[in-house]
Structure 1
Amino acid sequence: MSSKIALVVAYPSKDPDTGDALNFDMKYYLASHLPLIERAWGPYGLRSWSINEFPNPCPLTGQTPPYLVQTTCYFDQVEHLKAALENGSEETKPDVEKFSNVFPAIWVGEGVKQNTLAGLELEGVGQA
């Protein structure tokens, strides 16, 4: 794994204070906010990012998931992440209200291990 520090930004399905349902503009997020993140944090060590969107209701449980959108930003060192937040958040934080009515939960993790399975054939999964 080339980038080991992960900044996880997760948008709750409901505002924890008001209970209002999340309204999230994915088009704006992809077209405007993430390019802003790249410009603001790239000079401080942002290496890559990924987005997960969780369907509501969850296809496994039928329940509303606790988070509907989750983005992970990857850095090589926690010092790079700190510098990105200290120097870029003034520009990025106010942009959140342009695509979300709920402020995200944010936490930091460190990559432990990653593995990619190759050459496996699935039996009876998604086959006609």
Structure 2
Amino acid sequence: MSTVVTLLYPVPAESAKPFDMEYYLGTHIPMVDKAWSNAGLKKWQVVKLDPKSGYDTQCTLVWENTEVFAKAMEDDAGKKILADIPNFSTVSAVRVWGSLVKEN
């Protein structure tokens, strides 16, 4: 059963650096795709959210299952990807995941 991981990046405080969408799409997401596309990542999507929601950006990652997601987070590529986060965001993402029940 597929595992869906959702990352929600809060709107940064006015005094904080804004979310760098250009870097995120041009550097970070290609890094994610290259590292994990052959390691169980089935697809991803990035959504620019309405700031009234309290969140700036959403990234959804669909994995083969929870085990491959957990393994990917612990491998060297996962550590490199996590270390890259300060290059586009000064706020930590809310990370939630669960099993895909149904889709069209």
For normalisation by structure 2, the TM-score amounts to 0.86
In structure 1, C-alpha distance between the alignment counterparts of 2:50 and 2:6, rounded to whole Å? 18
Q: Does structure 2 conserve the Cα–Cα contact (< 8 Å) formed by 1:13 and 1:22?
A: no
What's the secondary structure of 1:71's corresponding residue? strand
The equivalent position to 2:56 in structure 1, one of 47, 55, 68, is 68
RMSD (CA atoms): 1.9
For normalisation by structure 1, the TM-score amounts to 0.71
1:7 aligns with 2:2: no
In structure 2, C-alpha distance between the alignment counterparts of 1:33 and 1:96, rounded to whole Å? 8
In structure 2, C-alpha distance between the alignment counterparts of 1:71 and 1:83, rounded to whole Å? 19
Larger Rg: 1
Greater relative contact order: 1 or 2 (C-alpha under 8 angstroms, separation 6 or more)?
2
In structure 1, C-alpha distance between the alignment counterparts of 2:3 and 2:11, rounded to whole Å? 25
Percent pairwise identity: 29
1:113 aligns with 2:102: yes
Q: Give unmatched runs, 5+ long, in structure 2.
A: none
- Identify the structure with the greater strand proportion: 2
